[in-house]
Amino acid sequence: MKNVVEQDQLLHTHAAVRIHPPNSLTEGKWVVSHLSEHRRLAISPNVCAILVAFMGGQSLLEAYKEVTETLDMPLESFGKYVVILMQKGLLVSENNPDHIFAYNIAKQWSRYGWGDAADYHIATFDYPFYDYSDDGYQQDTVLMNQYVTKEPDINRTKEYTAAVHLEVPNTRDALDSLTTSFRTLWNDPTTLQSIDVHHIKTLMATAFGRLRSRRIRGMSGRADLVRKTSPSGGSRHPIEGYVVVQAVPGIDAGIYHFSVGKHVLEYIGKPLSDNELALIFFGHERAPFHPRAYVVLTCIFERNMWRYREPRTYRTVYMDAGHVWGTVEVTANQLGLMCYPQHGIDEPKLEELLGLQPLEEAIFFAIALGGKGDEYERN
């Protein structure tokens, strides 16, 4: 790297660079992250101003004029800063291929409001994966054996010590009771029915219940894998199901957890008032019906992270949630219910009510349910 920069040379702040203002996570310092190089550096306010000046691309003189509008800095000192930032890979030429790649990803994805997802993609793009067309399976088996010697792989289900629980239909029986074809449901939704306890039990058993198990052969220390109606990479099934009942005939109002191990609905929380529910599930105020219950989807990260210890694992758990949501929607349609998914939730309050630690098990979203007679009248 040369130690002198031509005054008319066009430079860019690397498109994978992100500047973070002082906060509790940065210990009160300005910090710059280089996503594609996986580095974080503490920087001074002067360096921050220089990086901002080169965003979008400028020559040294153009950037210098912009910076000196607020900072008193000799051109020589400015040039030295620029050289150091180039050596650090924070400032690059306009034809730098890594910069161009990050710029195009950020620009294209931002059109859809996917800024954070773009950053995540840039940061994990070059992660080394096994080649399963070659010897990837053998390497994977060796790795799993190494994992299990340090920690058993047994996290398949969650249970509360609930004194009250409700039996639900066997998942296979629940499926057998749903006789309308998907093609028919897609083209002609079934007639609305008044929601009752039977609908809640059938829906929860279908969406979250265990269909069957599969033993992992040739490896001790690992519990049988669970098979459900929705697919999950590696049969990890990180998604847990809860239902907050407001007013459904045949079932007491309150909070329930679906126990996959016991195949029951566990009563874990007292009823909530209409006002409390409106504040917690504020996004569901947009539903075109009066909600009678809310199915809450959470994610237990450990289940996936034991098996898949790569940075992209976080992306896959949302695919699992999407599959479960699709199953809930199809089942609700089959049962003659209306449903409405929403991310607009007071997550801290609901996590408190469910007794969750969000870094271990986090709330993803909730689905409001209603039936015949719950529709809002249209003006």
List strands edge to edge, sheet with 30-34.
17-20, 30-34, 39-43
How deeply is 364 buried, as exposed, middle or buried, from its count of CB atoms within 10 A (0-12, 13-18, 19+)?
A: buried
Reply yes or no on whether the pLDDT at 193 is more than 60.
yes
pLDDT of residue 253: 97
pLDDT in tens, 278-289: 999 999 999 999
For the purposes of burial, counting CB atoms within 10 Å of the CB of 121, is it exposed (0-12), middle (13-18) or buried (19 or more)?
A: middle
Cα–Cα distance between 245 and 267 in angstroms, integer?
10
Mean pLDDT of the chain: 93
What DSSP state is assigned to residue 263? Answer: T
Residue 374's H or E segment, with its range, is: none
Instruction: Give the DSSP letter of residue 224.
Output: P
Please, which residues have CB within 8 angstroms of residue 58's CB and are 6 or more apart in sequence?
10, 11, 66
- The ranges assigned to domains in the chain are 10-96, 153-370
Query: φ and ψ at 275, to 5 degrees?
Result: -70, -40
CB of 50 within 8 A of CB of 78? yes
- Beta-carbon contacts of 262 under 8 Å, excluding residues fewer than 6 positions away, are 159, 165
Tokens of 164: 């009250």
d(CA 199, CA 193): 9
| Range scoring the smallest mean pLDDT among 2-6, 105-109, 151-155 | 2-6
pLDDT of the residue at 132: 86
Band of pLDDT at residue 54, cut at 50, 70 and 90: very high
Chain centroid, CA 29 distance in Å: 28
Question: In CATH, what number does 10-96 get?
Answer: 3.90.930.70
Q: Whole-angstrom Cα distance, residue 10 to residue 17?
A: 17
Tokens 């620029």: give the residue: 82
Query: What band does 376 get if pLDDT is binned at 50, 70 and 90?
Result: confident
Give bridge partners of residue 122 from the DSSP assignment.
none
220-238 exposure pattern, b = at least 16 Cβ within 10 A, e = fewer: eebeebbbbbbebeebbbb
CB 257 within 8 A of CB 265: yes
> Does the pLDDT at position 255 exceed 80?
yes
Rounded-to-integer distance, Cα 57 and Cα 234, Å:
45
CA-based nearest residue to 280, from 342, 221, 359: 342
Instruction: State what percent of residues in the chain have pLDDT above 90.
Output: 80
pLDDT at residue 2 in the model:
54
Q: What CATH number has the domain spanning 153-370?
A: 3.40.109.10
Over the stretch 60-101, which tens digit does the pLDDT of each residue have?
Answer: 999 999 999 888 889 999 999 999 999 999 999 999 999 999
